[in-house]
Structure 1
């Protein structure tokens, strides 16, 4: 399942939202989410061995977040701060020095992209990162937003599609077109 990316010191692997609530049995489960973990772990190992940066994002919502249905949002309650649902998948092998980025942490604002209100773009530029490699959940929501924002931030961007899963499989073709239009590379 390893994609065989040729990582280097100017790369960052962005592992998007591999959290319990987005995997099978979670509040907002994406079918096939847990099955991605071994392949993502292999990419983490390859990235680390090459001196690339490893970044893991997570939804980190306060109780009563604006995105929750009872507040008028589109999603059921999920990834509430300091709950088991918000924890990274237990088999995800994040190194101790992985950068952990929390998003959508304010009561009144949602954020899908790893770059949305987190300062990640500036941080990666300070570290000399030129290319981001993206994988995780969900392909048609937070992964999509992260890939498109990475391009807007000026990074060369590679999506590892085989290591990402969509909420709506019918949306994948449209996502591929959006990635292509934005100049992102998609590797299946």
Structure 2
């Protein structure tokens, strides 16, 4: 396979044990994409690779444990926005928050930790969720990519229906040409696949399936 142009970057979202079977917040078949993503990075097809890493304090506001009387996967209002409450996951420094060991992350030019603000959830690689002031703080990734001449991004990782989807949507809104590597993502639940496809199509994001990354 040929290398992608220099203006195309790969973003690998949250490929961490807590999002895989046996983890705190397992995605459906989340471990199935580790080997193919490892192979993709090893192939050297992308000249720029970014990995994101969910990295939460133990008292993160998205954790159901921080909201007495509420259970995981319930929704509450947080900073004026609907917030899904999650099981405690990807706590900074924990084994579940590490990047997948089977991948050689030396191929990554940037490892971006997100979700470190205890009061703000962070799905997307480009912007955190809404904060107390009603704004979505930038992570700085869009500027980092532009400084390197990147105009196109390919996204993969976990979870298809949350962090990868939001990253793709935000990248498209920021003016990048976005390709969603469907087979290199997995959802929290397959029930989210149809709405995810609709959201991607609405945003004009190209969906690629099969072995043509």
Alignment TM-score, normalising by the size of structure 1: 0.92
How do 1:1-16 and structure 2 match up within 5 A?
7-16=4-13
- State the aligned residue count: 183
Structure 1 stretches of 4+ moved >2 Å: none
Residues 1:125 and 2:146 are matched in the alignment: yes
How do 1:21-60 and structure 2 match up within 5 A?
21-46=18-43, 48-50=44-46, 52-60=47-55
Mark the structure with the bigger radius of gyration. Answer: 2
Partner of 1:178: 199
Q: Is the 8 A contact 2:2 2:45 kept in 1?
A: no
Distance 2:45 2:161 in 1: 30
The 10-residue stretch of structure 1 (155-164 or 22-31) with the greater mean CA deviation from structure 2: 22-31
The 10-residue stretch of structure 1 (131-140 or 29-38) with the greater mean CA deviation from structure 2: 29-38
Distance 1:79 1:95 in 2: 21
Shift of 1:6: 5.4
Distance 2:107 2:163 in 1: 24
Residues 1:87 and 2:98 are matched in the alignment: yes
Shift of 1:96: 5.3
Gaps of 5+ in 2: 68-83, 128-137
Matching residue within 54, 57, 61 for 1:62 = 57
Distance 1:168 1:60 in 2: 22
Alignment TM-score, normalising by the size of structure 2: 0.82
Gaps of 5+ in 1: none
Residues 1:18 and 2:39 are matched in the alignment: no
Q: Is the 8 A contact 2:16 2:100 kept in 1?
A: yes
Shift of 1:93: 2.0
SS of corresponding position for 2:53 = strand
